[in-house]
């Protein structure tokens, strides 16, 4: 069993129940999924970028990514409908808890000038989004194998949360490093 999943069930649920006035266990905030995506805007000119990004994303997430295509043509961006614009992975279950554990304990401390994550990056429904500027912060990615540096967006979708504060308390219980400056 994943370490954070075990911690959620044994420590975090009772703590959240006390904090949220004894609500039912099933109505407490919990992780639903984590979506990791990469924009591949430059890959139109260089097809090898798409392959490299797909390989890095598969290594980081532990499962095969899906290519995302443009829904509409936009002349200002020189973009046509159906052109590959990104790649994404949706992680659920045990892998999700393992990925979150690696993100918090291994990847975030490796970010340059890291002072914590923005505590206000919630979307109003309880989900949290963050950006990572390069894939090299993840220890699974070998520096020697990286041909192109690529940033990524990570969205942590939280279910059962009535507010951003409840979601923040869940992520804090997992040990998520929020900055105290903001």
Q: What is the DSSP secondary-structure string of 38-71?
A: EE-GGGGT-HHHHHHHHHHHHHHHSS--EEEE-S
In this predicted structure, what is the pLDDT of residue 128?
93
Return left, alpha or beta for 125; rule: phi > 0 is left, psi -120 to 50 is alpha, else beta: alpha
pLDDT digits (tens, 9 = 90+) for 119-142: 889 988 889 999 988 878 888 877
128-132 and 30-39: which strand pairing? unpaired
Return d(Cα 100, Cα 98) in angstroms, integer: 5
Domains of the chain: 3-174 (3.30.1440.10)
pLDDT digits (tens, 9 = 90+) for 3-56: 889 999 999 999 988 888 877 888 889 999 999 999 887 766 777 888 888 888
For the whole model, what pTM was predicted? 0.88
Tell me the sheet residues that pair with 79.
74
Q: Are 127 and 156 in contact (CB under 8 A)?
A: yes
């Amino acid at each position: 069993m994943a370490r954070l999943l075990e911690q959620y069930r044994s420590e975090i649920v009772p703590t959240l129940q006390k904090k949220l006035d004894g609500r039912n266990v099933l109505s407490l905030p919990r992780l639903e999924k984590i979506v990791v995506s990469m924009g591949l805007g430059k890959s139109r000119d260089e097809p090898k970028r798409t392959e490299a990004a797909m390989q890095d994303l598969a290594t980081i997430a532990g499962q095969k990514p899906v290519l995302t295509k443009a829904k509409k043509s936009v002349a200002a961006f020189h973009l046509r409908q159906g052109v590959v614009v990104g790649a994404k992975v949706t992680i659920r279950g045990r892998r999700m808890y393992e990925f979150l554990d690696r993100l918090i304990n291994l990847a975030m401390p490796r970010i340059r000038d890291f002072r914590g994550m923005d505590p206000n990056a919630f979307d109003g429904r309880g989900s949290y989004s963050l950006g990572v500027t390069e894939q090299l912060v993840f220890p699974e990615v070998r520096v020697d194998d990286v041909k192109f540096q690529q940033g990524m967006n990570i969205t942590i979708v939280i279910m059962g949360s009535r507010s951003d504060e409840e979601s923040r308390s869940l992520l804090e219980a997992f040990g998520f490093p929020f900055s105290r400056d903001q």
